[in-house]
Amino acid sequence: MLSLPRSARLAVWAGGWLDGEATLADVVARVQGDDEPHTVTGVPGLDSAGSLGTALGALRASGVRALRVALPRPGDPYGLAGPPDLTADATAAGEAVLAVGAPYGLVPDVRTFGPPGDQGHLVSWAWRDAVRPPPGPSLVEAERTLSEALIAAGSTLTKLDVAAWRPEVAQLLDDIRTGRSGEPLPRTFPPTAQALAARAARLLAVCDVALRDDGAAVSAARAAERRDALVPLERAARHALAAACNTRADSPPP
């Protein structure tokens, strides 16, 4: 099953709620998943942390008409336009949600608790001032860049030793090789966005695992070769996933 970053889930499902296509309870359930109830700090007018639903209500009251996701990494603050403290925190978190229609953003802080095999997550979002960045690349541009990166990294992906990894990683690679798709976004998104999000999410998951684990039998030279091939693919997959999730937010209002 495809799993999107929490900020991506928040952006796409809250966007549907803002357009009257989903209930607030459905949005909260989709974003939280198996997490403990999410909280949000810094919501204007609240002296303590509020619920995710309360924060979304405050965003709508402030004039927000859509949410965009940013998936930055150190050295690649893609999708962010400041201010500097938000950029730094969002880059450290690896994700953020930016409002369209009001100068705000939400940055998650995820804490894992419990023993291995029975772990849970505590998630607290920080309400921050934010500058809305310009729209990113079109779906066609993002698809082309991802395809080029995939071709360039093709031999490296073929050689990846998935036997030493989790079974779901092997399944992800098989899905990529066979072109298997899915619907990771709400069904109100166009098929082109659905297909791009599915492929980008799978590639991003594979790259994240491969870049964390060079393999005990891999030499330093082979590990460096693998990283040189996969880093551009990981970047292209992140950018493509953001482009797919931001399709509706970047569309001109009716």
Identity at 220, one-letter amino acid code: A
The separation between CA 94 and the C-alpha centre of its own chain, rounded to angstroms, equals 8
Asked if the model's pLDDT at residue 165 lies above 90, the reply is no
Q: Strand 39-41 to strand 104-113: parallel, antiparallel, or no bridges (unpaired)? A: unpaired
Q: Report, as an integer, the average pLDDT of 88-97.
A: 98
DSSP secondary structure of 155-199 = HHHHH--GGGS-HHHHHHHHHHHHT-----S-TTS-HHHHHHHHH
Asked if the model's pLDDT at residue 177 lies above 90, the reply is no
Task: Please state, rounded to an integer, the average pLDDT across all residues of the chain.
Answer: 88
Higher per-residue confidence, 221 vs 84: 84
The listed CATH number (1.10.1200, 3.10.450, 2.60.40, 1.10.3470) that belongs to domain 6-133? 3.10.450
> Global pTM?
0.90
Cα separation, 251 vs 246, whole angstroms: 9
Cα separation, 13 vs 31, whole angstroms: 8
Q: What pLDDT sits at residue 26?
A: 96
Q: What pLDDT sits at residue 207?
A: 86
Q: What pLDDT sits at residue 5?
A: 96
Q: What pLDDT sits at residue 216?
A: 46
Asked if the model's pLDDT at residue 254 lies above 90, the reply is no
H or E segment and range at residue 68: strand 66-70
Q: What are phi and psi of 171, to 5 degrees?
A: -65, -40
Cα separation, 24 vs 242, whole angstroms: 23
Higher per-residue confidence, 222 vs 87: 87
Express as a percent the part of the chain with pLDDT over 90: 69
Question: Which tens digits make up the pLDDT trace of 184-241?
Answer: 999 999 999 999 999 999 899 888 877 776 554 456 776 777 788 889 999 999 999 9
H or E segment and range at residue 59: helix 52-61
Higher per-residue confidence, 198 vs 167: 198
Question: Which tens digits make up the pLDDT trace of 95-140?
Answer: 999 999 999 999 999 999 999 888 999 999 999 999 988 888 899 9
Cα separation, 240 vs 225, whole angstroms: 23
19 pLDDT band, cuts 50/70/90, is very high
Q: For residue 227, what are its two tokens?
A: 């990283």
Q: Report, as an integer, the average pLDDT of 27-51.
A: 96
Q: Among 21-25, 173-177, 201-205, 220-224, which is the least confidently predicted range?
A: 173-177
Q: What pLDDT sits at residue 217?
A: 45
Q: What pLDDT sits at residue 224?
A: 77
Q: Among 8-12, 64-68, 123-127, 247-251, which is the least confidently predicted range?
A: 247-251
Asked if the model's pLDDT at residue 251 lies above 90, the reply is no
